[in-house]
Amino acid sequence: MQNVNFSIPSDEVMAAGHLGCAGCGAALAMRLALKALGRRTILVVPACCWSVIDGPAPYSAAGVPLMHTPFASAAAAASGVRAALDFKGDTETTVCAWAGDGGTFDIGIQALSAAAERNENILYICYDNEAYMNTGVQRSSATPLGAWTTTTPRAHLKDRPKKDLAQIMVAHEVPYVATATVAYPDDLVAKLQRAAQIRGTRFVHLLAPCPPGWKIPSEDAMKVARLAVATRVFPLVEVEPGRPWRLTVVPPEADLEEYLRAQGRFRALLDDPAALARVRAAIGERWQRITRLAHD
Amino acid sequence: MGPHRKPMKVIEGTHAISYAVQRSRTAVIAAYPITPSSGVVELLAEMCADGRLSSRFIAVESEHSALAACAGASQVGLRAFTATSSHGLAYMHEMLHWCAGARLPVVLANVNRALGAPWNIFVDQTDSLSQRDTGWIQYYCEDSQEVLDTIIQAFRVAEGSLLPAMVCLDAFFLSHTSEPVSIPDQDLVDRFLPPYTPAYALSVDDPRAFGGMVAAEGYLELRARIEHSMRRAQQLAAEAAREYGAIFGRSHPLVEMLHLDDAEIVLVTSGTVAGTARTVIEEYRAQGIHVGMAKIHLFRPFPFDLVRIALGRARKVAVFDRNISFGCGGIMASEIRAALCNIRKAPTVFSFVGGLGGCDVTPDTIREVVEYTRRCDAPEQDTMWVGLPEESRQ
């Protein structure tokens, strides 16, 4: 662990009384993100769990200005907010699109790709709970291989790998791409503080455990998110143009089955040795790919 | 002519829009190209590039994103504009509802073009008329001067009512026709259109959430407020038209009433068809035949009172629609019937549909409509198609 800032700002920007579920990774993600970004931040939130978590009008838990916007439009609406602030001469306020995996990997990827290609001066944070959790656990393209959701039922588990969005964003040659998770708050805050200092499109892929969707006890959310990193399921990286990928936190390796057994959504996968082997191989190959990128 | 005279500039309809957007001091422009509206943003992009315009121009990847970007800018409290047409407007549909619900006074120019399938790039008003329930103020224009003047007025009416506004013009017949247009002086436009200063906007000094969930009662109330504001927008539009006329010497009534004092038959039109119809109406008048015309300039809010004044005394009303709501007929005709339904001795309404997909509407087409209406006591069908090949008429 190098160049990691261990001090998390004490300012509690986000208010208590949000509407997240117990153990919600997305709620904690926002709390940490706003500590990192500070009060001079405007959030643009498409349809996602946070459309609910922020609370019913006129209440708002975020503590910073927040624009709700339709599902596919986070990056575009954020571009408009940015343009308007720039027109007013305010180039300092951080415009942060805050979207779930559905609004990022799926319906919002067109607007995101376009904003990245234009290198809009926005920070895009995808809090990824690996399915459409707000609508009741339907698969998204962020759902991992072998996972159960209501639309990938036991008899037909997700048979395609999770879309590699960090790679896709790196391919846009944007100035900053990182992955983070709420289980490593120092790393998360350091990355967002770094991102806040950079101009252009910055993309942070943030793994946010969802106790009801992952079928885990709410008190296990942090443990499971830590295991996601330790099992190499979700490597924590930082990518800036012209430099090798940087693995920011590499805990001692844990066995994949420990991660899978902790979650009800993988129960059927664990009953199928062949499928489990495929999942294990895919995670191993991706880890090899990322370590190669990190060492080049 | 009024007090303000200027030399005319010969420009295309799309460029008349661009000049209006420039004169309106628009802060953010976001757009995606589509024939036949592309010229609007081409000139605006050029103006931004060469410094004639200090707006931020965002070349987005879709119309949905164009309107989302405008929404973002408008939510910050700045003036935002986009232009589109046909499929582009259809692709914006979700954002159209959102802008109205969020009370964002974005202004949009829509070039009325046919929707596929099959592909067709020529005039048909169904693209915007089928968005009539989205909560947008809608204007329809006859010529490029009216387009330019209406865009500037649309910003004022939209910002006064906190509702978005759409200014519509016919594909090619107007968008790509070069006409002499008077481009108003900046200081006069500034006098007419003050800066937009909303009471609430995205600001780190006053953190608020916009568009968050509301429960049933709150939603009902917010919808009622939109309706109230929309109705009030007619008054604002009338005031804007009046004041614009006083400053610039050009007036575009919300419903233009031509020879309606003694007209037994009134032709109702909108868009460029009105220009063609004018000459035909004058021919009838010269022959002593009591025919008049009502041109619908403001369509949303629908000016029910003005329509009743215009048509209430006529014996027959012939509505020419360059649009179609399948299973119901001409869209303007439906609105006209609704406006007239509760008045005593309401005129008989004849509904004609034609000119779709760019079919010519010539003086002969208008004569055919007027002659049919003169000849028959009542229409033979709810909707009568004009210009169909003989074998398709049944």
Distance, in Å, from the CA atom of B126 to the CA atom of B64, rounded to the nearest integer, reads 19
Cross-chain residue pair A56–B215, CB shorter than 8 Å: yes
Residues of B with Cβ-Cβ distance to A78 under 8 angstroms: 72
What is the layout of strands, in order, in the sheet containing B107-112?
Answer: B56-59, B28-31, B80-85, B107-112, B165-170, B137-140, B298-300
In chain B, where the domains are located? 9-248, 257-392
Cross-chain residue pair B77–A84, CB shorter than 8 Å: yes
Average the pLDDT over A96-125 and give the result.
98
Tens digits of per-residue pLDDT, A79-108?
Answer: 999 999 999 999 999 999 999 999 999 999
Q: Is 50 exceeded by the pLDDT of residue B148? A: yes
Of residues A51, A57, A65, nearest to B203 (C-beta): A65
Mean model confidence pLDDT for chain B:
96
With respect to CATH, is domain B257-392 assigned 3.40.50.920?
Answer: yes
Tens digits of per-residue pLDDT, B108-120?
Answer: 999 999 999 999 9
- Matching CATH topology for B9-248 and B257-392? yes
Give residues 99 to 118 of A whose Cβ lies within 8 Å of B.
110-111, 113-114, 117-118
Cross-chain residue pair B64–A62, CB shorter than 8 Å: no
Tens digits of per-residue pLDDT, A12-33?
Answer: 999 999 999 999 999 999 999 9
In chain A, where the domains are located? 25-295
Chain A interface, best mutation among B204, B217, B222, by max A CB count within 10 A = B204
Distance, in Å, from the CA atom of B281 to the CA atom of B267, rounded to the nearest integer, reads 9
Cross-chain residue pair B74–A80, CB shorter than 8 Å: yes
Distance, in Å, from the CA atom of A232 to the CA atom of A166, rounded to the nearest integer, reads 15
Q: Is 70 exceeded by the pLDDT of residue A6? A: no
Residue of A nearest to B62 (CA): A111
Output the furthest CA–CA distance in chain A (Å, rounded). 59
Looking at residue B7, its pLDDT comes to: 82
Cross-chain residue pair A56–B75, CB shorter than 8 Å: no
Cross-chain residue pair A77–B72, CB shorter than 8 Å: yes
Cross-chain residue pair A44–B72, CB shorter than 8 Å: yes
CATH class of A25-295: alpha beta
Average the pLDDT over B40-64 and give the result.
95
Q: Is 80 exceeded by the pLDDT of residue A127? A: yes
Q: Is 80 exceeded by the pLDDT of residue B3? A: no
Looking at residue A69, its pLDDT comes to: 98
Average the pLDDT over B320-349 and give the result.
97
Cross-chain residue pair A55–B212, CB shorter than 8 Å: yes
Q: Is 80 exceeded by the pLDDT of residue A156? A: yes
pLDDT band at B212 (very low <50, low <70, confident <90, very high): very high
Query: Distance, in angstroms, between A81 CA and closest chain B CA?
Result: 4
Distance, in Å, from the CA atom of B101 to the CA atom of B129, rounded to the nearest integer, reads 19
Residues of A with Cβ-Cβ distance to B208 under 8 angstroms: 58, 60, 65-66
Q: Is the ipTM of this complex over 0.90?
A: yes
Looking at residue B5, its pLDDT comes to: 63
Question: Does residue A88 belong to the interface with chain B, where contact is any CB pair within 8 Å?
Answer: yes
Q: Is 80 exceeded by the pLDDT of residue A1? A: no
A vs B, Cβ pairs < 8 A, gives 167
Question: Does residue A134 belong to the interface with chain B, where contact is any CB pair within 8 Å?
Answer: no
CATH class of B9-248: alpha beta
Q: Read out DSSP for chain A?
A: --S---PPP----SPS---PPTT-HHHHHHHHHHHHH-SSEEEEE-SSHHHHHT-STT--SSSS-EEE--GGGHHHHHHHHHHHHHHTT--SSEEEEEEEHIIIIITTHHHHHHHHHTT-S-EEEEEE-SSBTTTTSB--TTSPTT--BTTB-GGG---SPPP-HHHHHHHTT-SEEEEEETTSHHHHHHHHHHHHHS-S-EEEEEE---HHHHT--GGGHHHHHHHHHHTTSS-EEEE-TTS--EEEE-PPP--HHHHHHT-GGGHHHHT-HHHHHHHHHHHHHHHHHHHHHHH-
Looking at residue B1, its pLDDT comes to: 45
Chain A interface, best mutation among B44, B48, B53, B60, by max A CB count within 10 A = B60
Q: Compute CA distances A191 → A112, A167, A188, B43, whole Å.
A: 20, 17, 5, 41
Residue of B nearest to A38 (CA): B204
Looking at residue A151, its pLDDT comes to: 97
Q: Is 80 exceeded by the pLDDT of residue B91? A: yes
Query: Distance, in angstroms, between B169 CA and closest chain A CA?
Result: 26
Q: Is 80 exceeded by the pLDDT of residue B392? A: no
Chain B interface, best mutation among A30, A34, A69, A109, by max B CB count within 10 A = A69
Residue of A nearest to B82 (CA): A80
Query: Distance, in angstroms, between A56 CA and closest chain B CA?
Result: 5
Distance, in Å, from the CA atom of B366 to the CA atom of B373, rounded to the nearest integer, reads 11
Of residues A76, A86, A118, nearest to B68 (C-beta): A76
Average the pLDDT over A179-208 and give the result.
98
Chain B interface, best mutation among A87, A96, A119, by max B CB count within 10 A = A87
Query: Distance, in angstroms, between A219 CA and closest chain B CA?
Result: 28
Cross-chain residue pair A84–B78, CB shorter than 8 Å: yes
Residues of B with Cβ-Cβ distance to A66 under 8 angstroms: 207-210, 212
pLDDT band at B220 (very low <50, low <70, confident <90, very high): very high
